[in-house]
Chain A
């Protein structure tokens, strides 16, 4: 035990852990131990480290340690022009990278009072949903593999490739499209893309149906996830949980529907999925339904894709007028937003990146208290974070 700080909360925590040790020693004569998970554990999607103090098999306290991948994007954005920033922010949540670009571009468009033409907004929304499908597909396989089921992850990688192919065909990049521009998009869709995408959406619906039986219908999966890691709605909100994590706690809130950004979500018929339980199973269930819903959104958008230009009239050298704007969208991992402060220059004065995983994972010290060791993996997997989205 290290030296105790003078701070009262630390003292209380110290007394509590000592008491736990003492009680345990009397009962079964074991000592508390410290378990280090990571920074290379496969459950961590990168390099998250978790230090857990255990009492037998129960966690007394757990602390995530990050920063192994901190790249300082907020500082780097201050010395790049607005179009250059999208190259960086692609790499925040690298599995759904197009979705990262959109809120930043929307914030810049808000400041410039430019609005992308309808066709650009619709294609943006389509690519946004494709990013979501590609991202969540991997989660659906990955959570199963972390619970010991090896097959789903291969199926997920196999089927995700179809979606990535479509993203690549439209943007030129599988992972880092860098396709969104202030005032529109870099290019229009290639020939034949719409039909191909419809077929892929069909495949992804089959994928979702298959997973509904294979994973959600699996007894072991249910036993490992039901009632594990329950997040009450009010606690989740106070910690800033967003996206499927909070919808799995019964909060009916989705920025695609409730946000005021100019994307084309209000043009299609879809619904927001919620689940009342708030446990790991619910989080998986909500994400699976959302993936299927996303394929329907894409289909409808492709049906009604308006014609017209894909770029608004913007100067080639972009100077953004002075002001402040915050734009947030419902990214695959939750709410992602950019608070952009401009001084009327070529470069932003300050960019605050609100990434979903950082807030989503900040609940873990609270959530992991008292759980058993194998459930740490379940809970971390079900909260679904991408390290690049935590460390930025």
Chain B
């Protein structure tokens, strides 16, 4: 099996240039290439990069990430529903939740945003060993965005999942139909206002996860 010998790779930790400079450079490159379509970015030093772009620049951002940043690897795509839902408890049975708390104001995560629904995609560069998360706001009245299939064919199934779970329409997607749920299913289960019926109809035994010792204070 000599012809199939493995690549001899050095597994010792390599001295990297400052990762944050690399992330700053990525953000700057994307900002240059997208122009007005670029909204903002957020960097956690040595850890991760988030970039938010305008909805119309969604596919351009993916193309730029692939061609300029070398993010060949399509990791995943999904959406986030930022509708506040304290503890997810507003869906609980009445016994579990005798005094419902008022909902917190809606607050988007890293790299900001204004809308309830945000698209999220994760891309990765296998040469740089670095990934980034790209977000885009979706206005409430028009939950639609362009498909990424032309850039990354692997986006196909992820978009079908986001379509059925969040009700987001992907323009020019050739085959937008249910992937997990049965065809006649109504509603979008991962939206925050979709009730989890099992919790609503009976108490949940796991509601008290950790019981405090006598005299111990909640930290």
Contacts from A to B (Cβ < 8 Å): 7, 9-10, 66-67, 70, 72, 74-76, 78-81, 83-84, 110, 234-235, 237-240, 242, 251-253, 257-260, 265-266, 268-275, 285, 289, 315-317, 322-326, 328, 335, 337, 339, 341, 343, 345-347, 349-350, 352, 354, 358-359, 362-363, 366, 391
Point out the residues of chain B lying under 8 angstroms from A237, CB to CB: 72-74, 126
Interface string of B21-51 (1 = CB under 8 A from A): 0000000000000000000000000111010
Cβ-defined partner of B181 (8 Å) among A67, A110, A253, A323: A67
Task: Name the CB-closest residue of A to B194.
Answer: A75
User: Could you tell me if B122 and A326 are in contact, using CB atoms closer than 8 angstroms?
Assistant: yes
> Does A238 lie within 8 Å of B76, measured CB to CB?
no
Q: Are B11 and A316 in contact (CB under 8 A)?
A: no
- Pairs across A and B, CB under 8 Å, 14 listed: A9-B175, A79-B92, A79-B204, A237-B126, A238-B74, A257-B9, A258-B129, A271-B8, A273-B6, A335-B75, A343-B107, A345-B87, A350-B80, A352-B76
* Residues in B lying within 8 Å of A, measured CB to CB: 4, 6-9, 11-13, 46-48, 50, 72-76, 78, 80-81, 85-89, 91-92, 104, 107, 109-110, 120, 122, 126, 129, 131, 133, 152-154, 156-157, 165, 174-175, 178-182, 189-190, 194, 196, 199, 204, 206, 209-210, 212, 216, 218-219
Whether A238 contacts B154 by the Cβ 8 Å rule is yes
How far apart are the CA atoms of A345 and B20 in the complex, in Å? Answer: 29
Known: A269-B11, A352-B78. 10 other contacts (CB 8 A): A110-B47, A240-B76, A271-B9, A317-B212, A324-B133, A326-B131, A339-B76, A359-B74, A359-B157, A362-B154
With A78-B88, A317-B210, A359-B76: A270-B11 Cβ-Cβ less than 8 Å: yes
Question: Most chain-A Cβ atoms within 10 A of its Cβ — which of B8, B47, B199?
Answer: B47
> B212 contacts A316, CB within 8 Å?
yes
- Min CB distance B4 to A, Å, is 6
Candidates A67, A270, A341, A366; contact of B179 at CB < 8 Å: A67
B154 touches A67 (CB 8 A): no
Q: A240-B76, A326-B131 are in contact. Are A251 and B126 (CB under 8 A)?
A: yes
In the assembled complex, the CB of B54 is this many whole angstroms from the nearest CB of chain A, namely 20
A346: B residues at CB distance < 8 A? 87, 209
Contact A70 B11, beta carbon cutoff 8 Å = no
B159 nearest CB across to chain A (Å): 11
Q: Which residues of A contact B190 (CB under 8 A)?
A: 74-75
A252 vs B88: C-alpha distance in the bound complex, in angstroms? 42
Question: Would A84 and B181 be within 8 Å (CB), given that A238-B153, A251-B126, A323-B109 are in contact?
Answer: no
How far apart are the CA atoms of A174 and B107 in the complex, in Å?
42
Assuming the contacts A269-B11, A339-B120, A354-B76, asked whether A285 and B126 have C-beta atoms less than 8 A apart, the reply is no
* Contact assessment for A271 and B11 in the assembled complex, using a CB-CB cutoff below 8 Å: yes
Tell me, rounded to whole Å, the shortest Cβ–Cβ distance linking A328 to chain B: 8
The reply to whether A354 and B86 form a contact with Cβ atoms under 8 Å apart is: no
B104 close to A240 (CB less than 8 A): no
A70 near B180: Cβ-Cβ < 8 Å: yes
Across the interface, A325 reaches (CB within 8 A) one of B9, B12, B48, B154, namely: B48
* Nearest-Cβ distance from residue B87 to partner chain A, whole angstroms: 5
Question: Are B81 and A350 in contact (CB-based, < 8 A)?
Answer: yes
The 6 A-B pairs of least Cβ separation, nearest first, read: A239-B154, A67-B180, A70-B180, A240-B154, A315-B219, A9-B174
Please name all residues of chain B whose beta carbon is closer than 8 Å to the beta carbon of A359 when the two chains form the complex.
74, 76, 154, 157
CA–CA, A272 and B190, complex, Å: 38
Residues on B with C-beta less than 8 A from A275 are 4
CB distance from B97 to the nearest CB of A (A): 11
User: Which residues from chain B contact A343 at a C-beta distance below 8 Å?
Assistant: 104, 107
Cα–Cα distance between A289 and B85 once the two chains are bound (Å): 48
Closest chain-A Cβ to B187's Cβ sits at a distance in Å of: 11
- The distance in angstroms between the C-alpha atoms of A345 and B84, with both chains bound, is 12
Partner of B6, one of A67, A271, A341, A349: A271
CB distance from B26 to the nearest CB of A (A): 15
B154 A271 Cβ-Cβ under 8 A:
no
Q: Which residues of A contact B153 (CB under 8 A)?
A: 235, 238-239, 366
Query: Which chain A residue lies CB-closest to B130?
Result: A260
CA distance A322 to B105 in the complex (A): 14
Q: Which residues of A contact B76 (CB under 8 A)?
A: 240, 337, 339, 352, 354, 359
The verdict on A272 contacting B157 (CB below 8 Å), with A67-B181, A81-B209, A110-B47 known, is no
User: Given A9-B174, A74-B190, is A67 in contact with B126 using a C-beta cutoff of 8 Å?
Assistant: no
Asked whether A79 and B88 contact (CB < 8 A) given A67-B178, A257-B11, A285-B4, the answer is yes
Q: B110 to A266, Cβ gap below 8 A? A: no
Please give the distance in Å from B18's CB to the nearest CB on chain A. Answer: 14
For residue A266, give the distance in angstroms from its CB to the closest CB of chain B: 5
Q: How far is the CA of A239 from the CA of B104 in the complex (A)?
A: 38
A324 touches B50 (CB 8 A): yes
Instruction: Report chain A residues within 8 Å CB of B133.
Output: 324, 326, 339
Given contacts A239-B153, A362-B157, are A252 and B9 in contact (CB under 8 A)?
yes
Interchain CB contact under 8 A, A66 and B180: yes
Which residues from B are CB-within-8-Å of A362?
154, 156-157
Tell me, in angstroms, the Cα distance from A310 to B89 when the chains sit together: 33
Q: Are A271 and B109 in contact, CB atoms less than 8 angstroms apart?
A: no
Bound Cα distance from A271 to B12, whole angstroms: 10
Chain A residue contacts of B122, Cβ below 8 A: 326, 337, 339, 354
